[in-house]
Amino acid sequence: MRTFLLLIFPACLLLAHCAGPGASVRTGEGAVIRWADFSSRYVPARHIDIWLPPGYNSGAETRYPVLYMHDGQNLFDNAKAGYGVEWGVDEAMLRLMAAGEAPPAIVVGIWNTPRRFMEYAPNKPLTYTPDTFRVRRQEEFRLEQAYSDEYLRFIVQELKPAVDSAFRTRPDRSHTFVMGSSMGGLISLYALLEYPDVFGGAGCVSTHWPLSLRYNDQVFTTAMMRYMAERLPQRRRPRVYFDYGTATLDALYEPSQLRVDSLMRAAGYGEKHWTTRKFPGAEHNEKAWQQRVDIPLRFLLGK
């Protein structure tokens, strides 16, 4: 990643204007501010990393779109990334801004916790699965309960208001987006459909449609599609980005993604509001996502 200044802010300062007077923030190549151990009524505390674009402090009247991203420790810093490879979201944003392909935007990286799977597994679609799948999910995933509804309440009711209070954001739906990979792709789609008045687009990268690894079947995909058919907005359509590779875990995804693509077409979503990209040879890891992160960013944030 490029050079940035990392600031540590305790949870008690979350509603302060962290990038305002008294905070030394370098913005030549953007800066990352850390809100350490952000507390919540709904989910365990976690770090929040917030990337501010270059020039943030020099434009006192400028307001910015906001992209909320899951697995936040993997976005900006190799040293913090779970597998030692970051997405390079800050570099990607700088490239797109320099090319005029995306406006300056704030990126909010939400760190995951040991409850990642339970927080990212969409709860309502799980209720559409048969009893046999529910037994399997308890055995295979040790998933007695999904906490995705609580996780989304945390983002919408606690984190977003704090970000909108602390920074010069454009808080409306058309300038608020969500994005993640694998299970993060599922929870991004779920966020969009549960809160269509909050999020104007979702980036679903290498979406983990099977949920199961032991059983590569279509049970959860069928449940997710039933839920999508009920919830996809027909008015004020959001932007929806899907992609997948063809190697390692991504090799499982094409049958499910093709079914989802058929549903999107049947719902009347065209190229303005939806795209699915296939990346032959791409694996299921941060290195692969780093190589193509410009594409979903451009689709969500670009004009």
Ordered by where they begin, the domains of the chain are 6-301 (3.40.50.1820)
Strands (E), 182-223: 201-205
pLDDT confidence of residue 170 = 97
Assign 3-state DSSP to the chain and report helix, strand, coil percentages, each to 5.
40, 20, 45
Quick check: 125 and 223 in contact, CB under 8 A? yes
Q: Measure Cα distances from 171 to 46, 65, 79, 115, 176 in Å.
A: 22, 7, 31, 28, 6
C-alpha–C-alpha distance, residues 29 and 166, integer Å: 20
What residues pair up with 52 in beta bridges, in sequence order?
A: 31
Tens of pLDDT, residue by residue, the chain (303 residues): 543 444 444 433 433 334 332 233 333 477 999 999 999 999 999 999 999 999 998 867 899 999 999 999 999 988 888 778 899 999 999 999 999 999 999 999 999 999 999 999 999 998 888 877 776 666 666 666 789 999 999 999 999 999 999 999 999 999 999 999 999 999 999 999 999 999 999 999 999 998 876 666 788 999 999 999 999 999 899 999 999 999 999 999 999 999 999 999 999 999 999 999 999 999 999 999 999 999 999 999 997
Q: In which residue are the tokens 């997710």 written?
A: 224
C-alpha–C-alpha distance, residues 241 and 189, integer Å: 9
Quick check: 78 and 84 in contact, CB under 8 A? yes
Quick check: 92 and 86 in contact, CB under 8 A? no
pLDDT confidence of residue 78 = 86
C-alpha–C-alpha distance, residues 72 and 81, integer Å: 8
The CA-based diameter of the chain, rounded to the nearest angstrom, is 58
Radius of gyration of the chain (CA): 18
The reported pTM is: 0.90
First to last CA, the chain: 26
Using alpha carbons, select from 300, 296, 286, 295 the residue that is nearest to residue 74: 286
Contacts of 101 (CB under 8 A, 6+ apart): 298, 302
